[in-house]
Amino acid sequence: MNIDSFQEDIKKCRFCFMCRHLSGVGNVTFREADTPRIRTAMVYGVLLDNSKLANADFIDTVYSSDLSAACRYHCVNHFDENGIMLAARRDIVENGLAPDDVKKLAEKLAAEPAAPKISGSGDILYYVDADTAAVASEAKAFDKIAKKAGVKYRAGRGGNTGKALYVLGYADAAKKAAAEFAEAVNKSGVKTVVVSNPAVYDALVNDFKAWGVKLSAKAVHASEFIASLKLKFSKKPGRLCYLESDFLKNYNGNLKFPRMLLGQLKAESAEGFATDLTSEKTPFMFGTNNEESYTCGEGAVVFAQLRPEIAKKMAKYVEERADKGCLIAVASPYTKAQLGKNTKLKVSTLTEIAADCL
Ligand code: SF4
């Protein structure tokens, strides 16, 4: 079983209450089962008696995890409750126990060609994945910035990196998709791949390496690319609240580029305390602390497709905590889509904000 390699973490987490507040799902369902402690206590039960893997409530809870990795990032010992949930998903799938909705979604993803269609010329590829394509203004904003900077780029559309398949527990199908994706990009000869979706960034930077898939181009998040252009902005975005991305913060050591870009834009924090917009180290403050995830399930990639009602509650949870009338800035097109659909908040991605300030 995949969970066997997490025995120590499981034993530590099952009795620990410390990161209870960092389950984005638990914060809106108020179910004890949706906390890191109880999730891992249930996995411990499976370690002792493997037949419990088939328990329907256990499977439902594992697939309801938002996988923000906030618990791992903020845990003093970095115990990997997130990795335990991903391992449990793989065990469920590999034992033929995947629920119908998960199976259907995975079959759909695996049937799609993984290689993106690449057009245009230049050393830079801007990859528009499904979540980025769903927010049409994102690619337009990127194009406006590239034109202003005089940067020629190719566009890649469609395909997938295998990330969604992996989080659903389909590791082999994920690796196959990743290899096809990388082959297409490598063949194009581009030197840099720019992505707006933090989930794609994490796939290209971390998953591909872990899966032995070689990508010859350097992957950068749009915030890093835009910050590197050192553009002169003619306007300031004013007061805003920035919601940290799960993948950029918790999966990638609190990547500094979103805050660097907000600093270049001279954005002002709407929170008014404990947030230094020019700091590249301090996670952004929203609500009552800088540890919680407010991404509506970004870490679980296809969370809104599997658990739309919970994703809606997570969006409302953000709305209740936001300064009224304040611009909400996000790194992730997925989070923008969820907040846009389920709340009245004014939400823009970092790319859109930068394009608006030119
Ligand atoms: S991740 Fe750390 S803080 Fe969270 S339950 Fe496990 S041991 Fe406790």
Separate counts of helices (H) and strands (E) for the chain: 19, 9
Q: Give the three-class secondary structure for 46.
A: helix
Mean pLDDT of 43-69: 98
- 178-218 pLDDT per residue, tens: 999 999 999 999 999 999 999 999 999 999 999 999 999 99
> Distance, CA 308 to ligand 1 centroid (Å)?
27
> Distance, CA 288 to ligand 1 centroid (Å)?
20
Q: In the sheet that 117-119 helps form, which strands lie side by side, from edge to edge? A: 117-119, 154-157, 124-128, 192-195, 218-221
- 214-255 pLDDT per residue, tens: 999 999 999 999 999 999 999 999 889 999 999 999 999 999
Type and span of the H or E element at 328: strand 327-330
Say if ligand 1 is within 6 A of residue 12 CB: yes
Q: Is the separation of the CB atoms in 355 and 347 below 8 Å?
A: no
Q: Is the pLDDT of residue 146 over 80?
A: yes
Give DSSP secondary structure letters for 187-249.
HHT-SEEEES-HHHHHIIIIIHHHTT----SEEEEHHHHHHHHTPPPSS---EEEEE--IIII
Q: Is the pLDDT of residue 64 over 60?
A: yes
Q: Residue 285's pLDDT band (boundaries 50, 70, 90)?
A: confident
- Counting residues of the chain whose pLDDT is more than 70, the rounded percentage is 96
Question: What integer pLDDT is reported at residue 323 of this predicted model?
Answer: 83
For the CA of 37, the closest atom of ligand 1 is 5
Parallel, antiparallel or unpaired: strands 117-119 and 154-157:
antiparallel
Say if ligand 1 is within 6 A of residue 41 CB: no
Measured CA distances, 147 to 152, 231, 358 (Å): 8, 12, 11
Say if ligand 1 is within 6 A of residue 36 CB: yes
Q: Residue 136's pLDDT band (boundaries 50, 70, 90)?
A: very high
Task: Report the DSSP beta bridge partners of residue 327.
Answer: 240, 346
- 10-31 pLDDT per residue, tens: 999 999 999 999 999 999 999 9
- 324-341 pLDDT per residue, tens: 788 999 999 999 999 999
Mean pLDDT of 138-151: 98
- 90-129 pLDDT per residue, tens: 999 999 999 999 999 999 999 999 999 999 999 999 999 9
Say if ligand 1 is within 6 A of residue 39 CB: no
- Ligand 1 atom 6: residue of nearest CA: 13
Question: What integer pLDDT is reported at residue 268 of this predicted model?
Answer: 83
Instruction: From 9, 75, 292, give the residue whose CB has the most ligand 1 atoms within 8 Å, as the site to mutate.
Output: 75
Question: What integer pLDDT is reported at residue 274 of this predicted model?
Answer: 40
Q: Is the separation of the CB atoms in 4 and 47 below 8 Å?
A: yes
